[in-house]
Structure 1
Amino acid sequence: MAEKKSYVFEENNVPFQICHATNCLALDNNDLLVTWFAGSREGNNDIAIWISRFSKGEWEKSVVIADDKEEPNWNPVLHQLKGGRLLLFYKVGRDIHSWRTMIRISDDRGKTWTEPRELVPGDKGGRGPVRTKVLTLSDYSLLAGSSSEQGVWTTFTDRSIDEGKSWVRSESIALDDISYHGEKTVSHTDIEVSEQSFYGRGIIQPTLWESKSGNVHMLMRSSEGRIYRADSADFGKTWSSAYATSLPNNNSGIDVVQLTNGSLVLCYNPVAENWGKRSPLRLAISKDNGNTWKDIYTLEEGEGEYSYPSITRKDQTIYLSYTWNRKRVAVWQFEEKELEE
């Protein structure tokens, strides 16, 4: 990727009207995979999971890798295990509060996939990663950030010690000082999301990092105008209460990645309004484990929706993808030293 910024596909060269919720992953062979959901409108039955590969200097043709056909598909997340096996997690269901999490597996770096199966058989509500990447912790367990959107939104984590075959759920993390009685939380917005998203308050879609062995932290999207945080000292088995940070949040997705020297880079919309504008989209850096932050780069600004970033690192290269006006998938590449200067 010679340019810092590229687009996975041209807007007029795909058979869908909208795309959203990207997730990117740099593979062990240096290919870059980006996946997202797309169709006619968020929440419609034709919403499927798409993927594209950046290899040998160009983006390959985007293809569908999961399509339930009878219900919408949501929020794909890719993860590569140490031996090379790829895991694809995604949600299926019309109602967000009763999502089922599906998993497909690839042993050829995403060229072919197994048939889907439920990640946790019988679950209704969505286990495993809800939107952001899965962490491989220092004890080799997998930790996924998840959440529930029913009434008061809550966050939790799922932990696996057998490479994703089984999962143990943490207790839910909730905000103690909010109430919700079924009313809409926004009266007008230009954001094209499923109508059900405008109901509920709380914290969802955590993004995770491990500062030292066993000490894991999360930042969470919220309806309260701020990014919230919680901390764990036991590999994500138990968590502190959630507390507000100084970072603004517009009730839209965020993502964080840890650099090789321990600094954190956050991608977010710095807008302190529930269902506020999803512009600008910026990078911020923290050199004290997320206690303080400094904006360092503006990826997008002006009118439009630039949202739901996915940010990951391979060696000292940072990759990030996001929704560009619901019409395209934008991808950036940085070297760590560019973000530390």
Structure 2
Amino acid sequence: MNRPIIPSISLVLMLLFVSCQSPKKEEKKGYVSAELIDSSFVLPEVRPFAQAHASTLVHVSGKNFLVAWFGGTKEKHNDVGIWLTKGDGKTWSEPVEVAKIREVPHWNPVLFKDKNDDIILFFKVGSEIAIWETWYIKSSDEGATWSAPQELVAGDKGGRGPVRNKPIVLSDGTWVAGASNEEGVWRPFVDLSKDQGKTWEHNGYLKVDIDSLGGEGMIQPTLWESEPGHVHMLLRTSGGYIYRSDSKDFGKTWSDPYKTSLPNPNSGIDLVKLTDQNLYLLYNPDNSNWGSRAALNLGLSTDNGKTWTDLVKLENGKEGDEYSYPAIIQWDNHIAMTYTWNRSNIAFKHFKINNN
């Protein structure tokens, strides 16, 4: 008669221990890291203006970028124009003023590359935000030369097209620009173009509950498409937090904006969706209206913006410092960004995103 094989107690414990262990590689599955490639200041020590703000950038080819901003004595001064430089992330050309329609303040340039690799530079013109005009110039030679300025929507006041952040191109080819109006209550909307920017359709303001929000309202949407026709925006607000709205019909109609967990001191934000489907957001982590812009973070969401973690703390300054109005772009598994550095310079950073 065969006796049953009874394993020793030590062997049983050893097998249980091994079975409960997960391979080290599995523990790190889905881990995202940002590898710094380049970090520099865009402007030289000696420059022909006192202040620089509201930068924008575009990746033109290879290692080359264009960066634009508004520069002059101070925001709202009549000598403020739109300036531009080209560089590889390490060194930059001397800044050149590329747009000055007339002797009134210019504002909020936005660089955008279309499917033909033409570069469009949108910007605002006007002594007050409520009467902004939107103008644009185009370049077919990576910013070496530019077309004559044209008004985006002739005669329109208050701003059309992209108010501060880059447009996105949806899966059906529609261009969507995050826009807003600051006459009275700040109100966001999107401008839609079905013909590659030739004409634009203002599709109506989103609902702003100013009584519950407090302060001025909400402006400057940053956009992404999660799946065909499903478009989303995050919004700068006066309510201490970033708000969100969603569309299921290619940006034609939008949900009422709702509060997220992300703080916002009434300062500009911008994001991109990378090929890994994750979202990368630049924001100031303070939750008081007109609060601190002394810290600037790169946030990461792996669930379409439902939850966020901080991937990189880009700046953590002292009281009175300003690191604001960020812009971010993506290509392949790379992101690059610019932002205002104490109104005296424009900071540039380039990261490679690694997914393990």
Same-fold call, TM > 0.5? yes
Q: Would the aligned equivalents of 1:174 and 1:202 in 2 still touch at CA under 8 Å?
A: no
Residue among 274, 285, 291 paired with 1:270:
285
Residue among 246, 252, 260 paired with 1:245:
260
CA–CA distance in structure 1, aligned partners of residues 243 and 266 of structure 2:
11
Residue among 302, 307, 311 paired with 2:324:
307
Q: Taking structure 1 as reference, are residues 241 and 270 closer, same or farther at Cα in structure 2, changes over 3 Å only?
A: same
> Mean Cα displacement is larger for which, 92-101 or 24-33?
24-33
Query: Which residues in structure 2 correspond to 1:180-199 (within 5 Å)?
Result: none
Q: Which residue of 2 aligns with 1:292?
A: 307
Paired letter, 1:257: V
Establish whether residue 336 from structure 1 lines up as the match of residue 353 from structure 2. Answer: yes
CA–CA distance in structure 1, aligned partners of residues 308 and 207 of structure 2:
24
Q: For residues 252-295 of structure 1, what are the alpha-carbon distances to aligned partners after superposition, in whole Å with 9 as ceiling and x for unaligned? A: 00011111111001110000000001021001100100000011
Q: For residues 95-130 of structure 1, what are the alpha-carbon distances to aligned partners after superposition, in whole Å with 9 as ceiling and x for unaligned? A: 101100001111111111111111001100100000
Q: Which residue of 1 aligns with 2:98?
A: 65
Aligned length: 319
CA–CA distance in structure 2, aligned partners of residues 55 and 310 of structure 1:
17
Q: Would the aligned equivalents of 1:174 and 1:203 in 2 still touch at CA under 8 Å?
A: no
Paired letter, 1:130: V
> In structure 1, the residue corresponding to 2:265 is in which secondary structure?
coil
Question: Percent of pairs identical after alignment?
Answer: 48
Q: Would the aligned equivalents of 2:40 and 2:89 in 1 still touch at CA under 8 Å?
A: no
> In structure 2, the residue corresponding to 1:178 is in which secondary structure?
helix
Paired letter, 2:38: K
Q: Which residue of 2 aligns with 1:33?
A: 66
CA RMSD, Structure 1 to Structure 2 (Å): 1.6
Shift of residue 57 of structure 1?
A: 5.4
Residue among 213, 216, 227 paired with 1:212:
227
Q: Would the aligned equivalents of 2:266 and 2:289 in 1 still touch at CA under 8 Å?
A: yes
Shift of residue 176 of structure 1?
A: 2.0
CA–CA distance in structure 1, aligned partners of residues 94 and 53 of structure 2:
17
CA–CA distance in structure 2, aligned partners of residues 3 and 30 of structure 1:
11
Residue among 188, 202, 222 paired with 1:169:
202
CA–CA distance in structure 2, aligned partners of residues 105 and 134 of structure 1:
15
Shift of residue 3 of structure 1?
A: 5.0
Q: Would the aligned equivalents of 2:89 and 2:348 in 1 still touch at CA under 8 Å?
A: no
Q: Would the aligned equivalents of 2:84 and 2:97 in 1 still touch at CA under 8 Å?
A: yes
Residue among 173, 176, 190 paired with 1:143:
176
CA–CA distance in structure 2, aligned partners of residues 330 and 75 of structure 1:
16
Q: Would the aligned equivalents of 1:6 and 1:331 in 2 still touch at CA under 8 Å?
A: yes
Residue among 39, 53, 70 paired with 1:5:
39
Structure 1: 5+ residue runs without aligned partners? 186-199
Query: Which residues in structure 2 correspond to 1:38-117 (within 5 Å)?
Result: 38-55=71-88, 58-117=91-150
> In structure 2, the residue corresponding to 1:262 is in which secondary structure?
coil
> In structure 1, the residue corresponding to 2:171 is in which secondary structure?
coil
Paired letter, 2:39: K
Q: Which residue of 2 aligns with 1:326?
A: 343
Shift of residue 239 of structure 1?
A: 0.8
> In structure 1, the residue corresponding to 2:130 is in which secondary structure?
helix
Q: Would the aligned equivalents of 1:36 and 1:49 in 2 still touch at CA under 8 Å?
A: yes
> In structure 2, the residue corresponding to 1:24 is in which secondary structure?
strand
Paired letter, 1:132: N
Q: Which residue of 2 aligns with 1:191?
A: none
> In structure 2, the residue corresponding to 1:323 is in which secondary structure?
strand
Q: For residues 167-219 of structure 1, what are the alpha-carbon distances to aligned partners after superposition, in whole Å with 9 as ceiling and x for unaligned? A: 01111013225289xxxx9xxxxxxxxxxxxxx61000000000001100000
Q: Which residue of 2 aligns with 1:232?
A: 247
Shift of residue 8 of structure 1?
A: 0.7
Paired letter, 2:330: R
Paired letter, 1:312: I
CA–CA distance in structure 1, aligned partners of residues 93 and 342 of structure 2:
22
Q: Would the aligned equivalents of 1:87 and 1:103 in 2 still touch at CA under 8 Å?
A: yes
Q: Would the aligned equivalents of 1:46 and 1:69 in 2 still touch at CA under 8 Å?
A: no
Q: Which residue of 2 aligns with 1:281?
A: 296
Shift of residue 314 of structure 1?
A: 1.4
Q: For residues 296-318 of structure 1, what are the alpha-carbon distances to aligned partners after superposition, in whole Å with 9 as ceiling and x for unaligned? A: 21111122100000011011110
Shift of residue 240 of structure 1?
A: 0.7
CA–CA distance in structure 2, aligned partners of residues 321 and 82 of structure 1:
23
Q: Would the aligned equivalents of 2:39 and 2:90 in 1 still touch at CA under 8 Å?
A: no
* Structure with larger Rg: 2
Shift of residue 55 of structure 1?
A: 3.9
